[in-house]
Amino acid sequence: MEFGAVNITGFKILQTNSAEFRQFANFWRKADNKRQLGGDDHISADAALMYDGTKVILDAFNRMLNKDPNLFRNNFRRGEVYNNDSRGIDCRGAFRWEHGEKIIAGLKATSIKGLTGQISFDEHGFRHNFSIDIVKMTINSEMTKIAQWSEKEGISLVPAKYYRIPTDSQILNKTFIVTSILEEPYLMLKKAEKGVEAEGNNRFEGYCKDLADLISQKLGINYELKLVNDSKYGAMDSQSDSGWNGMIGELIRKEADLAIAPLTITSARERVIDFTKPFMSLGISIMIKKPVKKNPGIFSFMNPLSSEIWMCIILSYVGVSVVMFLVSRFSPHEWRYEETLTGPSITNDFSLYNSLWFSLGAIMQQSCDVCPRSVSGRIVGGVWWFFTLIVISSYTANLAAFLTVERMVTPINSADDLSKQTEVEYGVLRDSSTQEFFRRSKISVYVHMWEFMNSRPHVFVDSYREGINRVRESKGKYAFLIESTQNDYVNERLPCDTMKVGRNLDAKGYGVATPLQSPLR
Q: Is 423 in the same domain as 389?
A: no
Give me Rg for the CA atoms of the chain.
41
Q: In degrees, to the nearest 5, what angle opens at C-alpha 278 toward C-alphas 277 and 279? A: 115
Task: Return phi, psi of residue 455, to 5°.
Answer: -80, -10
Q: Is 222 in the same domain as 323?
A: no
Convert the pLDDT of each residue in 72-131 to its tens digit. 766 666 556 666 666 666 565 555 667 778 888 888 888 888 888 889 998 888 888 888
pLDDT at site 88: 60
Nearest to 15 by CA among 51, 60, 59: 51
Q: Is residue 512 part of a domain?
A: no
CATH number at residue 277: 3.40.190.10
Q: Is 182 in the same domain as 150?
A: no
Q: Are strands 175-180 and 222-227 parallel, antiparallel or unpaired?
A: parallel
Nearest to 214 by CA among 162, 165, 155: 165
pLDDT at site 167: 55
Domain span at residue 24?
Answer: 8-157
Q: Is 312 in the same domain as 436?
A: no
Q: Is residue 170 part of a domain?
A: no
Q: Is 122 in the same domain as 26?
A: yes
Average pLDDT for the chain: 84
Convert the pLDDT of each residue in 272-320 to its tens digit. 999 999 999 999 999 999 887 766 777 888 888 888 999 999 999 999 9
Q: Is 227 in the same domain as 262?
A: yes
Q: Is residue 288 part of a domain?
A: no
pLDDT at site 85: 60
Q: What is the mean pLDDT of each run of 10 residues along the chain (521 residues)?
A: 58 83 79 58 80 89 84 65 61 64 86 88 87 75 78 78 54 87 92 75 93 90 93 89 92 94 91 92 93 75 88 93 89 78 77 88 85 87 92 89 67 90 93 91 94 94 93 93 94 92 92 90 72
Residue 217 burial (CB count, 10 A)? 9
Is 264 marked within a binding site? yes
Q: Is 82 in the same domain as 27?
A: yes
Q: Is 214 in the same domain as 147?
A: no
End-to-end CA distance of the chain: 16
Task: Give the chain's count of helices (H) and strands (E).
Answer: 14, 25
Q: Are strands 86-87 and 80-83 parallel, antiparallel or unpaired?
A: antiparallel
Is 483 marked within a binding site? yes
**Reported pTM:** 0.51
Cα dihedral across residues 108, 114, 115, 119: positive or negative: positive
Q: Is 16 in the same domain as 149?
A: yes
Is 262 marked within a binding site? yes
Is 434 marked within a binding site? yes
Q: Is 15 in the same domain as 129?
A: yes
Q: Is 392 in the same domain as 463?
A: no
Number of domains in the chain: 4
Give whole-number Cα distances, 512 to 8, 120, 185, 215, 444, in Å: 22, 52, 16, 10, 32
pLDDT at site 3: 42
Q: Is 335 in the same domain as 247?
A: no
